Structure 1
Amino acid sequence: MSSSRSARTAGAKVIARHASKDRVINSYPLVLGNMRCVPYRQEATPYLSFNFNPKVKAACSAQKAVTSSLRICKAIVIGDVAVGKTCLVNRFCKDTFDRDYKATIGVDFEVERFDILNTPFNLQIWDTAGQERFQCIAAAYYRGAHVIIVAFDLLDIKTLENTKNWLEAAMLENSQNEPLIFLVGTKKDLCSKAAYEKVEEDAVRRAKELGAEYWGVSSKTGEGVKDFFFRVAGLAFNEAVLKEVDVSSPSKQIATSDLIKVERNTEVTEHKKSRCAGKCST
């Protein structure tokens, strides 16, 4: 997909009067305590929200949460080459799966328009290249991320080990932010039940280390993909509106019955600029 075509498509979605019917969220997505089994592991998420924050609901009800600063949420998808980042994005945005896609060069992006609590909200998903030679180019697009999605291949444990490095690189560009972090294992359809359960244990441990919410998905079958991106959009919307209507109380300081957020491991946010500069100079 060319960048110009992507931009035209994205622009059309942003200015659309309403989101499509399958992009409407009127209740908190996949809350803990829901009677049905949630696709993510309860013990592997720092986001223990049970509802949209009351201030968010009030702002949306009063139609106050429609300022331009809230219309775009930037989500970046990072991880090793060939872990399935593009397939993940394409499954959600285009409902397609192409096993023989060409590797992403630099970055590409899609925009999905949501109506959340009757308020327009746009999720801008940046698909970044995994090849080492493109990392410094892609790093420039990490800045200003509200959401960081770190992907790995469930069939390749090395890609899980590398997720920490990817997150550290992204956090270098977002040291002043507190982005939502998700760890996503792809290609779940290729795993036997026993194999998946084994790698899931490692993934849950890594998610806790990273301060991330863990998901296992399949872009081929679509398992978990829509639920995952709805979860991303819902959490990001809640954070964005809350910051807008309550600037004096940053989301990381809030601890109410409706929003309880566990502090992330500070290790992954340590600056390693000298290391990054060395890579970018080669």
Structure 2
Amino acid sequence: MNQEMNGVEAEKFQEKIDYVFKVVVIGDSAVGKTQILSRFTKNEFCFDSKSTIGVEFQTKTVTINGKLIKAQIWDTAGQERYRAVTSAYYRGALGAMLVYDITKRQTFDHVARWVEELRSHADGSIVIMLIGNKGDLVDQRVVQTEDAVEFAEDQGLFFSETSAFSGENVNSAFLKLLQEINKVVSKKSLECSNGIKGNGNLDGAALKGEKIDIISGSDLEISEMKKLPSCSC
């Protein structure tokens, strides 16, 4: 009886999800993409990290402006030999976290190329957040904040500096990205309801959270792990 009731409660909770947003985390290898994702979804940092192979994803459910949103966050490998594989995963992404390492100038120099690749494969309305990671390594900084801010403003990106190690600004950066995606989705849903065609291919009805994994418990901030046998960066 209890199991049946728990199943009913979980199903009711599941039905409350308003949107499922796909987000990709991109950038050069070893900039801390998986560590940022792990910090956001599980509040964990793995010291024994390994490079991501292929593509993996995790999810987290949050409340934004009264809407229950499930973020499906894809972690892509930064190595050149895997980029041809991961490019297919840009399809359907509503947001992107573009990460560089503030202690490695080369990773920032490659950001423009990542933006170009992202815009070549993703929807034109995709929301992009530029992230300068490893902010805790102040003494090793080689990329100045001003340079990143200037680039972000020029490209129309949102920007934040984070530390996956300490957790500084990680949650706020992801939540800001999801908030901006929600604005885009809400605007396009309104346009559709008014019979106005938007510039992208976004269908508000298609984003409704249907047939997703059952979520149990009363806490709205729930994270899940998919295809992650070991911690990686």
| TM-score after normalising by structure 2 | 0.73
Q: Which runs of 5+ in 2 are unaligned?
A: 1-9, 201-233
Residue 171 of structure 1: how far off its partner (Å)? 1.2
* Aligned positions of 1:40-55 closer than 5 A: none
Aligned to 2:154: 209
Letter in 2 for 1:224: N
1:124 and 2:120 equivalent?
no
Distance in 1 between residues matched to 2:146 and 2:76, nearest whole Å: 27
Aligned to 1:8: none
The answer on whether the counterparts of 2:62 and 2:68 sit within 8 Å (CA) in structure 1 is: yes
1:234 and 2:179 equivalent?
yes
- How many residues align? The count is 188
Aligned to 1:147: 95
Residue 103 of structure 1: how far off its partner (Å)? 0.9
Compute the RMSD of aligned alpha carbons: 2.5
For residues 53-74 of structure 1, the C-alpha deviation after alignment (integer angstroms, 9 at most, x for no partner) is: xxxxxxxxxxxxx8x9x62111
Distance in 2 between residues matched to 1:101 and 1:87, nearest whole Å: 8
Distance in 1 between residues matched to 2:40 and 2:120, nearest whole Å: 28
Name the structure where strand makes up a greater proportion of residues.
Answer: 2
Q: Which has the higher contact order (CA 8 A, sep 6+)?
A: 2
Distance in 2 between residues matched to 1:249 and 1:88, nearest whole Å: 36
Q: Secondary structure at the match of 1:99?
A: coil
Aligned to 1:183: 130
Residue 115 of structure 1: how far off its partner (Å)? 2.4
- In structure 1, which of residues 137, 141, 152 is the aligned counterpart of residue 85 of structure 2? 137
* Aligned positions of 1:193-272 closer than 5 A: 195=141, 199-247=144-192, 248=196, 250=198
Distance in 1 between residues matched to 2:38 and 2:51, nearest whole Å: 13
Percent identity (aligned)? 32
- Indicate how the Cα distance of structure 1 residues 217 and 15 shifts in structure 2: closer, same or farther if over 3 A, else same: farther
* Aligned positions of 1:55-204 closer than 5 A: 71-174=19-122, 176-192=123-139, 195=141, 199-204=144-149
Distance in 1 between residues matched to 2:160 and 2:104, nearest whole Å: 16
Distance in 2 between residues matched to 1:149 and 1:163, nearest whole Å: 11
The answer on whether the counterparts of 2:57 and 2:74 sit within 8 Å (CA) in structure 1 is: yes
Distance in 1 between residues matched to 2:130 and 2:12, nearest whole Å: 31
The answer on whether the counterparts of 1:86 and 1:127 sit within 8 Å (CA) in structure 2 is: yes
Distance in 2 between residues matched to 1:191 and 1:159, nearest whole Å: 17
The answer on whether the counterparts of 1:152 and 1:163 sit within 8 Å (CA) in structure 2 is: yes
Distance in 2 between residues matched to 1:168 and 1:235, nearest whole Å: 20
The answer on whether the counterparts of 1:243 and 1:251 sit within 8 Å (CA) in structure 2 is: no
Distance in 1 between residues matched to 2:141 and 2:11, nearest whole Å: 45
Distance in 1 between residues matched to 2:67 and 2:184, nearest whole Å: 14
Letter in 1 for 2:87: A
Letter in 2 for 1:113: T
Q: Which runs of 5+ in 1 are unaligned?
A: 1-13, 19-65, 253-282
Distance in 2 between residues matched to 1:93 and 1:171, nearest whole Å: 26
The answer on whether the counterparts of 1:76 and 1:145 sit within 8 Å (CA) in structure 2 is: yes
Distance in 2 between residues matched to 1:195 and 1:165, nearest whole Å: 22
Distance in 2 between residues matched to 1:102 and 1:159, nearest whole Å: 18
Residue 241 of structure 1: how far off its partner (Å)? 1.9
Letter in 1 for 2:133: T
Letter in 2 for 1:178: S
